[in-house]
Amino acid sequence: MHPRRPEGFDGLGYRGGGREESGPGPRPFGSVSELGHWVTSPPDIPGSRNLHWGEKTPPYGAGTPLGGAGLNEEPNLGPGGPGADQLNRFAGFGIGLASLFTENVLAHPCIVLRRQCQVNYHARNYHLTPFTIVNIMYSINKTQGPRALWKGMGSTFIVQGITLGTEGIISEFTPLPSLTHVVAMPFYSASLIETVQSEIIRDNPGILDCVKEGIGRVVGMGVPHSKRLLPLMVLTFPTVLHGVLHYVISSIIQKLVLYVLKRGNSHNLPPEGSTSIQGMLDAYFPELIASFAASLCADVMLYPLETVLHRLHIQGTRTIIDNTDLGYEVLPINTQYEGMRDCINTIRREEGMLGFYKGFGAVVVQYTLHVAVLQLTKIIYSTLLQNVS
């Protein structure tokens, strides 16, 4: 039985067509016609070596595994070779993934408590500091279990997916971001209900319940609501206003911070072709830092508007939330705001100006976790580069 292997095939290095063998010994295969029309090459794997018949793997530090390229062999993980570029891209992807994980998964309990505090007009404790937020998180986790702090996470991903998909479609016709928020608004409202609803009286929702409730809110069907439920037309202006302002503020802050960081590091940047570890870090991390600062500034500046927005979305939905003063018991939401202006005046009159910042300590905890993860991934990234340099 003849092997189905064309001459000149050397593993990951094969690109079709024959070539001279560089190995000292003859190949143990018979002559086979060229089969380059059906042989494909799998993606390169960093660190792999393609040896010919009779070759031996050189010991670590000898030959060219970390230096220049050998015969018919791409440079390996040298600081300036393609291997280092692959590691750089891989590490950058890992850091971005860690940042995304922190923002959407690890920080989700902070988002849950933040929203519950914002819509809780009964609360006497405003939770303006991270210390009280951590304490109430512990109490809720102790009485209701860990699921109480991770509820609604699936619906938040669905809303983000709908937002990104809608943005990609609408951007083909118009650059206005307001239409994206209008389309995602009913699904955002349904997701908000899932994140603030108390786990004590909450049924196990399905993954697509957010979509079903959002469509039902548009067509006027689904779960029955009270007469205090505000129509979507009333919610359109505050929702679009919050979304557009968040986009504008974050874009300005991101460009400003990125400009300052790059200008401050311009005299420290290595020359072109340099492969210093610090140079690689300085080239990538300003993007993450700028994105982090932009999101933080936008969330802080628009926090009062977000409080008003969430109260308007939750009104009339017969939602029951946790008591954020005690960490146990539940409270109904029975507000009667007539619109955005009435909501602002009522909060300022009955709860004071700090009433707009209820749950602000959760924002501090959320972004503290984000900073910690960014710093940890930076240390890991630096260690990886040092090991291959």
Name the least confident of 70-84, 334-348, 353-367: 70-84
Q: In the predicted model, is pLDDT for residue 138 greater than 50? A: yes
pLDDT, residue 109, reads 93
Q: In the predicted model, is pLDDT for residue 290 greater than 50? A: yes
pLDDT, tens digit, 9 for 90 and up, residues 246-274: 999 999 999 999 999 888 766 555 554 44
Helix axes of 303-314 and 340-350: crossing angle, nearest 10 degrees: 110
If you compute the radius of gyration of the chain from its CA atoms, what whole number of angstroms results?
28
pLDDT band at 300 (very low <50, low <70, confident <90, very high): very high
pLDDT band at 277 (very low <50, low <70, confident <90, very high): low
pLDDT, residue 262, reads 81
pLDDT, residue 35, reads 45
pLDDT band at 279 (very low <50, low <70, confident <90, very high): low
Q: Hey, what amino acid is at 75?
A: P
What mean pLDDT comes out for the span 208-229? 80
Q: In the predicted model, is pLDDT for residue 68 greater than 90? A: no
- Burial label for 309, CB within 10 Å (0-12, 13-18, 19+), is buried
Separation of alpha carbons 12 and 76, rounded Å: 13
pLDDT band at 54 (very low <50, low <70, confident <90, very high): very low
What mean pLDDT comes out for the span 189-215? 86
Helix axes of 108-119 and 153-170: crossing angle, nearest 10 degrees: 90
Q: In the predicted model, is pLDDT for residue 72 greater than 50? A: no
pLDDT, residue 266, reads 63
Separation of alpha carbons 343 and 262, rounded Å: 43
Separation of alpha carbons 260 and 255, rounded Å: 9
Helix (H) / strand (E) containing 133: helix 130-144
pLDDT, tens digit, 9 for 90 and up, residues 322-348: 999 988 889 999 999 999 999 999 999
Helix (H) / strand (E) containing 330: strand 330-332
**Residue 183 near residue 211 (C-beta atoms within 8 A):** no
